[in-house]
A = this chain, B = another copy of it.
Amino acid sequence: MYNVGVIGCGYWGPNLIRNYTQLNRSRVKIVADLDRDRLSHMKKLYPSVETTIDYMNIINDPEINIVTIATPVSTHYKFASEALSAGKHVFVEKPIASSAKDAESLVNIAKKNHLKLMVGHTFIYTAAVKKMKEIVQSGELGDIYYINSQRLNLGLFQKDINVLWDLAPHDISIILYLLDQEPKWISAAGSSNINGFIEDVAVLTMKFNDKLIAFTQVSWLDPDKIRKMTVVGSKKMMVYDDVQPTEKIRIYDKAVEMPKHYDTFAEFQYSYKYGDIIIPKIDGKEPLSTELSHFLDCIEQDLTPMSSGEKGLEVVKILEASDESLKNNSSLVELCNNQFLLN
C-alpha cells in the first residue's frame, strides 16, 4: 500500500485524491494546502485523510512514499525537488516546471536518487489518444503530413502563466506522443487582450523536419468550447474531437496524390481518394485512474513512465522557446535537444 501526500487541493487536487483512494494499492495520508476552507472540505469528503497547512509535514513523514503536486506552476520545482530529495516518488501536474532549467534539475535529482518522476500529461492516458497512437503506429494513415490542433474556450484565466503554458501542454504532449519525435524549430504568435502582460490567444507552430509540421492554436477567449486535432497522412486522415461525448475519433479514407510521372504540365492531375469514414468505439474509462495506476506500476516494476520527467522537460523546452519567439517577432527558435540532460 502506497501512502500518498497531496500538495494542493484546489481545482484538480480532489480528482487526484479520489482516484488514489479508489485504487486498491494506494491511499492518501496527508493533504496540504494554504487554504483552510479547502482543507476542511477535503476532510468532509474523506474523513480519514489528515490535513495540514504545512507541506513539510508531508515531506518529513517517513511513511509517505509518494508526493503528488497540484499547485500553481511556479511552485512545482520547489515542492518536487524537496520531495525527491527526501526520497519520495513524485507525480506533478503539467507543466512539470516553469523553466527548462528547473525541469532538467528535477529529472536529474530523480535519476540520481533512483526515484520515479512523472508529470500529469493526462490526455495521453485517455482511450481516445491511445487509439490514435495505435492507428498512427499501424501505418494506416501512411506518412504523417501535418497535425493541426485547437484548444479554445471561454474562461479559466490563469494568473501566473499565459495561455500557451496553460493549455498547449495538452496538445504538445499528445503530438509528441503520436509522432514519437521532438520538434527542431518552433515559432509562436499571440496577443494579450484582457491582461496586457499575459497572452490569452496564441498559435504555436512546431517544425519536426523539412516537411512535418504541427499547428496548435489556444485561446481563453473563444465563445465555443473546441478541442480538436486533425492528423493528415498520405493515405488517410484522422480527426480527434474531444468535445464529442462518444464519437471522439473519425478516420477518413481520404487522400490526395501527385502523379508520379507526367509529360506536360497540362496533363498534370492530382488524384483524390474519397472513401468511407469510420468512427471507432472508444472506451470511456477515466484517464486519471489509468494514469495513476500506470505511475504505481512504474514504481513497482521500475519502469519509465510514458509521461516521464524527460517528457515533461521536452514540453517545457517548447514552451520556453515559445516565450522567446513571442518576444522576437514570432521568428523561428531552434530547439537544442541534446545539451540538457545529465549523463
With A281-B274, A330-B205 as given contacts, are A265 and B159 in contact (CB-CB < 8 Å)? yes
Query: Once the chains bind, are B232 and A221 in contact (CB under 8 Å)?
Result: yes
Identify which of A86-94, A186-194, A290-298 touches chain B.
Answer: A186-194
* Nearest CB of B to A335, in Å: 13
CA distance A207 to B326 in the complex (A): 13
Chain B residue at smallest Cβ distance from A232: B221
Query: Once the chains bind, are A187 and B189 in contact (CB under 8 Å)?
Result: yes
Total copies of the chain: 4
B155, B230, B252, B280: the one within 8 Å of A276 (CB): B280
With A146-B201, A187-B329, A330-B330 as given contacts, are A239 and B223 in contact (CB-CB < 8 Å)? yes
Query: Once the chains bind, are B201 and A203 in contact (CB under 8 Å)?
Result: no
Of the four ranges (under 10, 10 to 19, 20 to 34, 35 or more), the interface on chain A belongs to 35 or more
B189, B193, B256: the one within 8 Å of A157 (CB): B256
Chain B residue at smallest Cβ distance from A284: B274
* Nearest CB of B to A145, in Å: 4
With a CB–CB cut-off of 8 A, which chain B residues contact A239?
223-224
A268 CB–B CB distance under 8 Å: yes
- The majority secondary structure among interface residues of chain A is strand
Identify which of A100-108, A210-218, A306-314 touches chain B.
Answer: A210-218
A219 CB–B CB distance under 8 Å: yes
Contact with B along A218-254 (1 / 0, CB 8 A): 0111111000001010100101000000010010111
Query: Once the chains bind, are A222 and B275 in contact (CB under 8 Å)?
Result: no
* Nearest CB of B to A8, in Å: 15
CA distance A239 to B247 in the complex (A): 15
B159, B189, B329: the one within 8 Å of A215 (CB): B189
With a CB–CB cut-off of 8 A, which chain B residues contact A230?
222-224
With A189-B213, A331-B330 as given contacts, are A148 and B219 in contact (CB-CB < 8 Å)? yes
CA distance A308 to B157 in the complex (A): 42
Query: Once the chains bind, are A252 and B278 in contact (CB under 8 Å)?
Result: no
CA distance A212 to B192 in the complex (A): 9
A258 CB–B CB distance under 8 Å: yes
List CB contacts (< 8 Å) of A314-343 with chain B.
329-332
* Nearest CB of B to A286, in Å: 17
Interface pairs A-B: 4 shortest CB-CB: A329-B332, A331-B331, A223-B252, A277-B279
Taking beta carbons and an 8 Å cutoff, which residues of A are in contact with B?
Answer: 47, 145-146, 148, 154-155, 157, 159, 185, 187, 189-195, 201, 203, 205, 207, 211-213, 215, 217, 219-224, 230, 232, 234, 237, 239, 247, 250, 252-254, 256-258, 265, 268, 270, 272, 274-281, 329-332
Q: Could you jot down 6 A-B contacts, CB within 8 Å?
A: A146-B193, A154-B254, A155-B272, A187-B189, A189-B205, A221-B256
